C-alpha cells in the first residue's frame, strides 16, 4: 500500500518535574494513534517525543526531594519511558534536552541563524516570571497576585537578556495562519491566535537567562558566544523538533522529514507553537510545520490536571487494573480531543464494561465461537479498504470520530447476530448459516484492521483469531 508519502508527528516534550499523569498519557496516546494510522496507510512515519529538562521547575523538584537535578532527571526519564512501553507508544525517538550530542548542537545552530538574520539583541529587562509556565507573565494575568493556573506568585526578575525579534514576523505569520499554510486545528484555536495577534500584536521575547550559579554544569544550553547566558527554556525546547532530526549535525532525517506534518499540543501551549516557534523558523529561513493539532485538557475536579495543582489521576493505577488497551481506548474515544474533559475512575469503569468487556470483547468471542464450531477456515480479505469517513476523520485529527465509526460497525455486527441468529440457521439451512458466519468473521477481521491505530494489540489478536479460525482468549481481562 506504500505511496511514498512521509508523515512527521511530534508530541510536546514534557517537563520532568514529576512522574507522568493522565494528561501526559493523553497527548502521547493521541499522537500514537495518528502515527499508527499513517503507518497503516503506508506513509513513511516518524513519531518524536521526549523531555524538556533544562528548567527551574525541575531543579526545584529535585532539590525538594534531596536529589541532584541530573540524577533526578534520569529517574523521571526512565519512568516516562516505562509508561511509553506499557502504553505501546511507537515513538521512533525519545529526545532529552540535556542531551549534549543529540540536542545542543542543533539548538545552537538554530540560535546562530537567528543571530545571522539580525533577530537577536541584548536588553535589560524586568518582569514577573512564573516558574510554572516557565514564562514571563504580566500583572493582568494574575489573580490576587498569583498565577491562576499554578496558584503561585511569580518571581520579580531584573536581568540582562538576549531578545528575539518576534515582532518582525507578526504580519507574515498572521497571513500564514489565516491562509492555513500553517493549519491550526480546530478552527476555534486558529481564531484565538489570530485575534490575539490582532489585539496584542507579537512582542519580542526574552530568549536567554543568566546562568544560575546553583545549576549544575550540563543543565541549560549556553548561548553561542556568551557562556554567562543559557537559552530561554522555550527557545531550547521548541528547537527539539528539528534537533532530533539531526538539524545542525547530521541532516539526513531532517531532509527526509522536515517540515513536521503535525505538532500535537495541548491548548495551554498554543502561543508558543503558533507564534514563537514559527517566528524562529521564519527567521532561520526554514519551512513551517504544516499543522498544529491543539487538543483540550484533561480536567480533574473541573481544573486542569496537573502536578502543580495536586489533582492528578495516576495513569499507572488504571493501567495496572485495566491494561494499556483499555487506557488507550478511553483516552482516544471518550475524551473529545478539541474540548476539555473530566476523567474519573467511575466513568472509566463504566465504558470499560459496556464497550470493551461486554462490547467488543464479547462480540469477538461470539463470532469466533460460531466460526470455530461451524467453519473449517475463514478466507480473510487480502486487501481491506478503509472507510472514507474514517480516513477523513483522521485527516482532520478527529480521532474520537474515527474511533466511533469503527464502533458503530461493532454494534452493527452485534445486532446482525441477534437479528439473524446464525446458531439457529445452521440447523435449518447449513450452507446459508455457514455463509452468514463467514461473512461475520470477515467483518470482524475488517474491524480488527480498522482498530490498528487505536488498539494495536487487540487488533492483532482479532485478526489472528480470524486467520486461525479460533476463538481468542479474553480480549480485555481485568486484574
Ligand atoms: N515542556 C513544555 C512543552 C514544550 S514543547 C516544545 C510543557 N510541558 S508540560 O509537561 O507541562 O505539558 C506538555 C503537554 O502535556 C501539554 O501541552 C499537553 O499536551 C499535555 N498535558 C499536560 N497536562 C495535561 C492535561 N491535564 N490534559 C491534557 N494534556 C495535558 O508545557
Per-residue pLDDT, 1: 45
CB contact at 8 A, 455 and 328: yes
Q: What does the alpha-carbon distance between residue 48 and residue 326 come to, in Å, rounded to a whole number?
A: 23
CB contact at 8 A, 166 and 275: yes
Q: Fold identical between 6-295 and 344-468? A: no
Helix H or strand E encompassing 27: helix 22-40
Cβ-in-10-Å burial (0-12, 13-18, 19+) of 31 comes to buried
Per-residue pLDDT, 3: 52
Residue nearest to atom 29 of ligand 1 (CA): 23
Per-residue pLDDT, 50: 98
Q: What does the alpha-carbon distance between residue 15 and residue 136 come to, in Å, rounded to a whole number?
A: 17
Residue nearest to atom 8 of ligand 1 (CA): 14
Identify the sign of the CA torsion 168, 172, 178, 180.
negative
Distances (CA, A) of 423 to 49, 198, 431, 446: 49, 66, 12, 22
Bridge partners for 6 per DSSP: 44
Cα R_g (the chain), whole angstroms: 25
Q: Could you identify the atom of ligand 1 that is nearest to the CA of residue 295?
A: 19
Cα(149) to ligand 1 centroid in Å equals 13
Per-residue pLDDT, 79: 96
Cα(96) to ligand 1 centroid in Å equals 15
- State the CB neighbour count (10 A cutoff) for residue 112: 15
pLDDT, tens digit only, all 479 positions of the chain? 445 799 999 999 999 998 899 999 999 999 999 999 999 999 999 999 999 999 999 999 999 999 999 999 999 999 999 999 999 999 999 999 999 999 999 999 999 999 999 999 999 988 898 988 888 888 888 999 999 888 889 999 898 999 999 999 999 999 999 999 999 999 999 999 999 999 999 999 999 999 988 898 899 999 999 999 999 999 999 999 999 999 999 999 999 999 999 999 999 999 999 999 999 999 999 999 999 999 999 988 788 888 777 888 888 889 999 999 999 999 999 999 999 988 888 889 999 999 999 999 999 999 999 999 999 999 999 899 999 999 999 999 999 999 999 999 999 999 999 999 999 999 999 999 999 999 999 999 999 999 999 999 999 999 999 999 999 999 999 88
Cα(65) to ligand 1 centroid in Å equals 23
Helix H or strand E encompassing 2: none
Beta strands in 296-437 (DSSP E): 298-300, 303-304, 341-342
Cα(438) to ligand 1 centroid in Å equals 46
What does pTM read for this prediction?
A: 0.95
| 3-class secondary structure, 18 | coil
Q: Which residue among 27, 299, 399 has the greatest number of ligand 1 atoms within 8 angstroms of its CB, and so is best to mutate?
A: 27
Residues touching ligand 1 (Cβ under 6 Å) are 12-15, 23-24, 26-27, 52, 237-238, 240, 265-266, 268-269, 297-298, 304-306
Q: What does the alpha-carbon distance between residue 223 and residue 212 come to, in Å, rounded to a whole number?
A: 13
Q: What does the alpha-carbon distance between residue 385 and residue 447 come to, in Å, rounded to a whole number?
A: 11
Please name the CATH architecture into which domain 6-295 falls.
3-Layer(aba) Sandwich (3.40)
Domain ranges of the chain: 6-295, 344-468
Q: What does the alpha-carbon distance between residue 18 and residue 13 come to, in Å, rounded to a whole number?
A: 14
Q: What does the alpha-carbon distance between residue 366 and residue 381 come to, in Å, rounded to a whole number?
A: 20
Q: What does the alpha-carbon distance between residue 155 and residue 39 come to, in Å, rounded to a whole number?
A: 46
Helix H or strand E encompassing 9: strand 6-14
Beta strands in 177-261 (DSSP E): 183-185, 205-206, 208-210, 222-223, 226-231
Cα(12) to ligand 1 centroid in Å equals 6
Residue nearest to atom 15 of ligand 1 (CA): 24
Q: State the CATH class of domain 344-468.
A: mainly alpha
Amino acid at each position: 500500500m506504500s505511496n511514498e508519502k512521509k508523515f512527521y508527528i511530534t508530541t510536546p516534550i514534557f517537563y520532568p518535574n514529576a512522574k507522568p499523569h493522565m494528561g501526559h498519557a493523553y497527548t502521547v496516546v493521541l499522537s500514537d494513534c495518528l502515527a499508527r494510522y499513517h503507518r497503516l496507510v503506508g506513509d513513511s512515519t516518524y513519531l518524536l517525543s521526549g523531555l524538556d529538562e533544562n528548567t527551574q521547575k525541575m531543579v526545584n523538584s529535585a532539590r525538594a526531594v534531596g536529589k541532584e537535578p541530573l540524577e533526578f532527571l534520569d529517574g523521571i526519564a526512565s519512568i516516562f519511558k516505562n509508561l511509553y512501553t506499557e502504553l505501546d507508544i511507537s515513538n521512533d525517538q525519545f529526545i532529552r534536552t540535556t542531551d549534549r550530542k543529540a540536542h545542543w548542537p542543533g539548538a545552537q545552530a538554530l540560535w546562530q541563524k537567528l543571530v545571522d538574520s539580525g533577530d537577536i539583541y541584548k536588553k535589560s529587562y524586568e518582569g514577573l516570571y512564573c516558574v510554572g509556565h516557565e514564562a514571563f507573565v504580566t500583572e493582568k494575568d494574575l489573580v490576587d497576585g498569583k498565577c491562576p493556573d499554578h496558584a503561585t506568585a511569580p518571581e520579580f526578575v531584573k536581568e540582562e537578556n538576549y531578545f528575539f525579534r518576534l515582532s518582525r514576523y507578526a504580519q507574515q505569520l498572521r497571513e500564514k495562519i489565516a491562509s492555513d499554510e500553517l493549519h491550526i486545528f480546530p478552527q476555534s484555536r486558529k481564531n484565538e491566535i489570530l485575534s490575539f495577534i490582532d489585539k496584542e500584536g507579537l512582542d519580542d521575547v526574552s530568549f536567554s537567562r543568566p546562568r544560575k550559579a546553583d545549576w549544575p554544569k550540563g543543565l541549560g544550553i549556553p548561548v553561542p558566544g556568551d557562556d554567562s547566558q543559557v537559552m530561554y527554556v522555550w527557545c531550547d525546547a521548541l528547537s527539539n523538533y528539528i534537533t532530533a532530526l539531526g538539524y545542525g549535525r547530521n541532516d539526513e532525517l531532517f531532509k527526509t522529514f522536515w517540515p513536521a506534518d503535525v505538532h500535537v499540543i495541548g491548548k495551554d501551549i498554543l502561543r508558543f507553537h503558533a507564534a514563537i516557534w514559527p517566528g524562529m523558523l521564519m527567521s532561520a529561513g526554514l519551512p513551517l510545520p504544516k499543522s498544529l493539532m491543539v487538543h483540550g485538557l484533561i480536567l480533574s475536579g473541573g481544573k486542569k490536571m496537573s502536578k502543580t495543582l495536586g489533582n492528578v489521576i495516576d495513569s499507572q493505577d488504571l493501567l495496572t487494573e485495566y491494561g494499556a488497551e483499555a487506557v488507550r481506548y478511553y483516552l482516544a474515544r471518550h475524551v473529545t480531543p478539541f474540548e476539555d474533559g473530566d476523567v474519573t475512575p467511575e466513568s472509566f469503569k463504566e465504558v470499560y464494561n459496556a464497550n470493551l468487556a461486554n462490547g467488543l470483547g464479547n462480540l469477538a468471542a461470539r463470532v469466533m465461537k460460531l466460526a470455530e464450531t461451524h467453519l473449517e477456515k475463514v478466507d480473510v480479505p487480502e486487501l481491506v479498504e478503509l472507510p472514507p469517513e474514517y480516513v477523513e476523520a483522521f485527516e482532520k485529527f478527529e480521532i474520537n470520530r474515527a474511533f466511533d465509526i469503527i464502533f458503530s460497525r461493532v454494534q452493527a455486527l452485534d445486532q446482525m447476530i441477534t437479528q439473524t441468529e446464525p446458531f439457529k440457521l445452521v440447523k435449518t439451512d447449513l450452507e446459508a448459516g455457514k455463509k452468514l458466519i463467514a461473512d461475520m468473521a470477515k467483518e470482524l477481521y475488517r474491524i480488527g484492521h480498522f482498530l490498528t491505530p487505536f488498539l494495536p494489540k487487540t487488533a492483532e489478536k482479532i485478526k489472528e483469531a480470524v486467520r486461525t479460525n479460533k476463538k481468542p482468549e479474553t480480549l480485555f481481562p481485568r486484574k
